[in-house]
Amino acid sequence: MSAVDPAGEKELVVGEDGSIPAEQLARLGLQPGAHLRVVEATSLPTVNDDLEGSLRDLPELEWQDFERGSELARRDVAGA
């Protein structure tokens, strides 16, 4: 079960014969005869930990740009 699953959802593994093992049901607090609703699971997009190239559309900044931004920030703080 994923951390993003809505609260209350349970994940069960169906056996090769189509049954759900009783120990799985018992572990979840379900008794024989419980009504279950089956919903199709959608796969979550894979997380790409590689950030290379993700900011390629940003302009190239020079040190002077950083200094100007820092000066503007100092003025904003001093004026507040």
Q: Is the pLDDT reported for residue 67 higher than 90?
A: yes
**pLDDT band at 2, cuts 50/70/90?**
very low
- pTM (2 d.p.): 0.33
Query: For the residues 31-60, what does the mean pLDDT come to?
Result: 69
Contact by Cβ (8 Å): 28, 21: no
Q: Please give the share of the chain, as a percent, with pLDDT higher than 90.
A: 18
pLDDT for position 22: 83
Q: Is the pLDDT reported for residue 1 higher than 70?
A: no
